[in-house]
Amino acid sequence: MTSCFDVIDEINLKKDGSGEFLLTVNMSKSKTKLESIMLLESFRDQKIPSKEEVEKFIDDLALFLRQSEGLSSVKKTIDFEEFIFTIGFDFESVENINSAIEALTLKNAKNPKSFDLRYSYDKSTKQFSRYFTPNTVDQANFEKLNEEDKNMFNEAIYISISRFESMILECSNKRAKVSKSGNAVMLRSSATNLLREKNNITNTVQLK
Amino acid sequence: MKNYILIGFLLLSFTAHSQGVELNIPSNASMVFEINSPALIKAAPYEELEKSDFGKEMIFKLSKLFQQNVKSFNEIGILTSESSYIFLDQSTDQPTLVFLFPIKDKDLVERAIIFNRYNIEEADGYHFSSGPGGQSFYWNDKLLTIVQHLNKNSQVVPTQNYLSKATKSISSNPSYKKQKDENATFSFWIGDMSSALPKLTGALGNMSNELNDKMMSSLYEGYESLSMKMYLNKNESRLATEMSFNESVSSAYRNISKQKYNAEFFEYVDLKNCLGYFSSNINVKSLLTEYPAILNNQLEALPESNKYKSEIDLGMVLFSTLLDEEAVGDIIKGDMLFVLSDISEKEVEYTDYEYDSTYQRKEVTKTKIERVPDFIYMASLKDGKLSKATISYLLNKQLIEKQGSYYKIVPNKSVPVDLFMMIKNDILFIGTSVDRFRAISAGKYKAQVPSKFKDHINDNQVAFYAGVSKAEASLSVSDFPNKKRFAQFKNLFKDSPDVFFTAEKFKKNSAKGSVVIKTPKGHTSGLTYLLHLIEELK
């Protein structure tokens, strides 16, 4: 019954500070279970959203991003056969991503943002940073789950990939893996370790 | 409430006299629940009960209740040779729930009453005390009664103490007498559901009023008595239910249940090695003709003030006008059989990503093993114009594809099993195994049907069987959330029993049903096995 899914965030950063962002949730490995679970109203006391509700959530998010300053070419994919969902956009500067995340947080005041994610890029020092801290509400909610439900998050993987036009000189996070090509970096962690702050995916990259 | 049920339940005594306190229940009691203590003791000796978690908890609570260190049930003389009863007296305006507990030692009752800080008062030949919830306790040397008005808002104090024999007792009530069985460990009886249930549910929910009672009565229109009995014997635990109805409802149900089961189903199944099955046999033609009449009966009893009454009436008329019962009944007879043959492994594909030297991702298809059910479903279906039109529609829409004499149902990618369908000899087949479909269509399938299963399905309206130990053997750790649960399940159902559920064909004016769980080896009786199950499931 163990269920697993991957969350992947990818950022392609150009020298001028603009770039592309893509978030993917891939639940394909659990698709047969999800197909059954989605026939239910609720599962283990958690309400199961309908396909329409999932679609509406992603549509609303896309609409919101389209209206956000500095973001353009918003794209989304919804695939209920493979259970893969993506949302992506182009940005003028990483600050535009930060503003959108902040605005989303304010918009959903009842449902606080699921994590504190922020980017910074300094053209002059060629330093790119990604900050990530799970928020306390999520941590508390996670700890409230029973052991079986927690186990599902052990198998859920969070992957963060950043690609650059220049070569990477140095990464602050020791767990960061630089690609063979030398201009991309990847950080992976189980969702459980992220939520429990056993793994840190905050990273500052010094570019050449 | 919980507390004094416990007090009473635990005080059942050894004062053995035949018929006992049943004679104290008035003949017009509308509901009676009996705990047959001798049968209970037979099912589980003291020592075994005391060893169970349930027993240990009872002993702990008893010690607390009586403020003394209780070591065994025997020591205080509980669980005994005389039945205890709970019944509903609806002879007055106030529906009253009464508990009758034969006792061995009235000092124990008094100690418990004092411990609960209630005052004890004395009357002629008995003592009594009033609890804070409006309930009254009465007791003498042999019997404790607890009397409670169901309507909690009632200010009326109970006037009857039920300590002595009723002028006319329940044992002279024909409906009660007919169903009484000394061998049942627990028995529950309602004389007239259409009058007792509305008041009972109304009073329990504190919503009893005239209109509500009428609405509820209309729901149970035509329902008469209900009897449920739990037998906890050496070889099996059995819950037997019987409901009786008035003639108009009965005649409808008799027609609905009148139909020969399609014996050809047995030629296409292996029930000897299956994990379980479910069958039902309902005469669809009669169902469509009779059901509107049954509903109408209930609707007529609905109060005029019901705001949807006219809409419901219209709907019923439309339903019977538009539907051609004969035509539908000719196509779908209404008998079916579902067999879970096995749980097997199947390779399923999923999408994953791989990353190149620049961490650009590439979509790749990987495979993993999933465990899927192997089943077959059969239903009588006239192979005529409608089925042909349906099949050509499904083919046209590419929802099925032809493979020889059967069809493959084109799957949604997320469904891990292959599904096949076929209509042969006026039977619709849907199933997972291509080999079985090939064999059936070639007339070469080797069926195995032990007569006990054949009779179980053939003779009854609904039949369900779960071969728990066979299922236990075919499940693997990946079917469970974790290893601990898997081990727990293995332990629980190892050498485990077969479970049978049966709804018999409607006979005369009654519907009978039963659930049977066979007692596995190593357990004294059905009761000790059920206690073991409860402990394991915690």
The ipTM, to two decimals, is 0.88
Q: Do A32 and B416 touch (CB under 8 A)?
A: yes
Interface with A, mutate which of B343, B349, B350 (most A CBs under 10 A)? B350
Residue B39 pLDDT exceeds 70 = yes
Report the pLDDT averaged over residues B32-54.
81
Q: Do B412 and A81 touch (CB under 8 A)?
A: yes
Check CB contact of B481 with chain A, cutoff 8 Å. yes
pLDDT recorded at residue A111: 57
Residue B229 pLDDT exceeds 90 = yes
Q: Which residue of A has its CA nearest to B417?
A: A32
Which one, of B56, B153, B70, B155, lies nearest residue B111 by Cα? B70
Report the pLDDT averaged over residues B296-314.
70
Q: Do B358 and A181 touch (CB under 8 A)?
A: yes
Cβ-Cβ contacts under 8 Å between A and B: the total is 69
pLDDT recorded at residue A1: 38
Check CB contact of B361 with chain A, cutoff 8 Å. yes
Q: Do B479 and A84 touch (CB under 8 A)?
A: no
pLDDT band, residue A35 (cuts 50/70/90):
confident
Q: How far apart are CA A180 and CA B331, in angstroms?
A: 68
Q: What is the mean pLDDT of chain A?
A: 87
Q: Which chain A residues have a beta carbon less than 8 Å from that of B478?
A: 1
Report the pLDDT averaged over residues B486-498.
70
Report the pLDDT averaged over residues B226-243.
92
Q: Do A32 and B415 touch (CB under 8 A)?
A: yes
According to DSSP, the β-strands at A6-13 and A157-164 are parallel
Cα distance from B363 to chain A (closest Cα, Å)? Answer: 11
Report the pLDDT averaged over residues B321-327.
75
Cα distance from B360 to chain A (closest Cα, Å)? Answer: 9
Q: Do B355 and A161 touch (CB under 8 A)?
A: yes
Q: Which chain B residues have a beta carbon less than 8 Å from that of A180?
A: 357-358
Looking at per-residue confidence, does B480 or A177 come out higher? Answer: A177
Question: Among A61-70, B17-26, B275-284, B447-456, whose mean pLDDT is lowest?
Answer: B17-26
Interface with B, mutate which of A1, A147, A187 (most B CBs under 10 A)? A1
pLDDT recorded at residue B1: 44
Check CB contact of B353 with chain A, cutoff 8 Å. yes
Residue B17 pLDDT exceeds 50 = no
pLDDT recorded at residue B12: 47
Cα distance from A5 to chain B (closest Cα, Å)? Answer: 10
**B383-417 pLDDT, tens digit each:** 788 888 889 999 999 899 999 889 999 876 667 78
Q: How far is CA B349 from CA A86, B89, B146, B413, B491, in A?
A: 20, 64, 64, 9, 33
Report the pLDDT averaged over residues A27-55.
82
pLDDT band, residue B510 (cuts 50/70/90):
very high
Report the pLDDT averaged over residues B429-437.
93
Q: Would you put residue B334 in left (φ > 0), alpha (ψ -120 to 50) or beta?
A: left
State what percent of residues in chain A have pLDDT above 70. Answer: 93
Cα distance from B150 to chain A (closest Cα, Å)? Answer: 33
Q: How far apart are CA B168 and CA B164, in angstroms?
A: 12
Residue B442 pLDDT exceeds 60 = yes
Residue B207 pLDDT exceeds 60 = no
Q: Which chain B residues have a beta carbon less than 8 Å from that of A83?
A: 414
Cα distance from A147 to chain B (closest Cα, Å)? Answer: 9
Question: Among B184-188, B240-244, B264-268, B295-299, whose mean pLDDT is lowest?
Answer: B295-299
pLDDT recorded at residue B15: 37
Q: Do B350 and A28 touch (CB under 8 A)?
A: yes
State what percent of residues in chain A have pLDDT above 90. Answer: 57
Report the pLDDT averaged over residues B524-535.
80
Q: How far is CA B438 from CA A145, A188, B426, B432, B480, in A?
A: 48, 49, 17, 12, 33
Looking at per-residue confidence, does B412 or A21 come out higher? Answer: A21
Residue A110 pLDDT exceeds 70 = no
Interface with B, mutate which of A6, A10, A28 (most B CBs under 10 A)? A28
Q: Do B358 and A81 touch (CB under 8 A)?
A: no
Q: Do B357 and A181 touch (CB under 8 A)?
A: yes
Q: Coil, strand, or helix at residue B377?
A: strand
Report the pLDDT averaged over residues A48-54.
88
B537 CB neighbour count, 10 Å cutoff: 9
Looking at per-residue confidence, does B323 or B347 come out higher? Answer: B347
Q: What is the mean pLDDT of chain B?
A: 82
pLDDT recorded at residue A13: 96
Enter the tokens of residue B262: 């399609």
pLDDT band, residue B137 (cuts 50/70/90):
confident
Please tell me the total number of residues recorded for chain B in this structure.
Answer: 538
Q: Do A179 and B357 touch (CB under 8 A)?
A: yes
Residue A113 pLDDT exceeds 70 = no
Report the pLDDT averaged over residues A68-96.
95
pLDDT recorded at residue B331: 83
Report the pLDDT averaged over residues B54-68.
75
Report the pLDDT averaged over residues B363-384.
89
Report the pLDDT averaged over residues B22-39.
90
β partners of residue B349: B367
pLDDT recorded at residue B202: 63
Residue B518 pLDDT exceeds 60 = yes
Q: Which chain A residues have a beta carbon less than 8 Å from that of B359?
A: 161, 163, 179, 181, 184-186
Q: Do A83 and B414 touch (CB under 8 A)?
A: yes
Residue A48 pLDDT exceeds 90 = no
Residue B11 pLDDT exceeds 60 = no
Interface with A, mutate which of B355, B359, B366, B488 (most A CBs under 10 A)? B359
Q: Do B361 and A8 touch (CB under 8 A)?
A: yes
Which one, of B8, B82, B104, B86, lies nearest residue B38 by Cα? B82
pLDDT band, residue A22 (cuts 50/70/90):
very high
Report the pLDDT averaged over residues A162-171.
95
Q: Coil, strand, or helix at residue B335?
A: strand
Instruction: Give me the numbers of helices (H) and strands (E) for chain B, helices first please.
Output: 19, 20
pTM: 0.73
B492 CB neighbour count, 10 Å cutoff: 15
Which one, of B86, B50, B85, B54, lies nearest residue B70 by Cα? B50
User: Which residues does A93 contact at the CB level (< 8 Å), separation at least 6?
Assistant: A17, A18, A70, A121
Which one, of A204, A175, A208, A174, lies nearest residue A190 by Cα? A175
Tell me the residue ranges of DSSP E strands in B357-506: 361-381, 400-403, 406-409, 419-424, 427-431, 460-467, 498-504
Looking at per-residue confidence, does B46 or B433 come out higher? Answer: B433
Report the pLDDT averaged over residues A89-96.
96
Q: Which residue of B has its CA nearest to A3?
A: B481
Residue A50 pLDDT exceeds 90 = no
pLDDT recorded at residue B13: 38
pLDDT band, residue B163 (cuts 50/70/90):
very high
Which of A32, A148, A183 is nearest residue B348 as measured by Cβ atoms?
A: A32
Interface of A with B (CB under 8 A): 1-2, 6, 8, 10, 26, 28-29, 31-32, 34-35, 80-84, 147-148, 151, 161, 163, 179-181, 183-186
pLDDT recorded at residue B369: 85
Looking at per-residue confidence, does A205 or B129 come out higher? Answer: A205
pLDDT recorded at residue B222: 84
Q: Which chain A residues have a beta carbon less than 8 Å from that of B343?
A: none
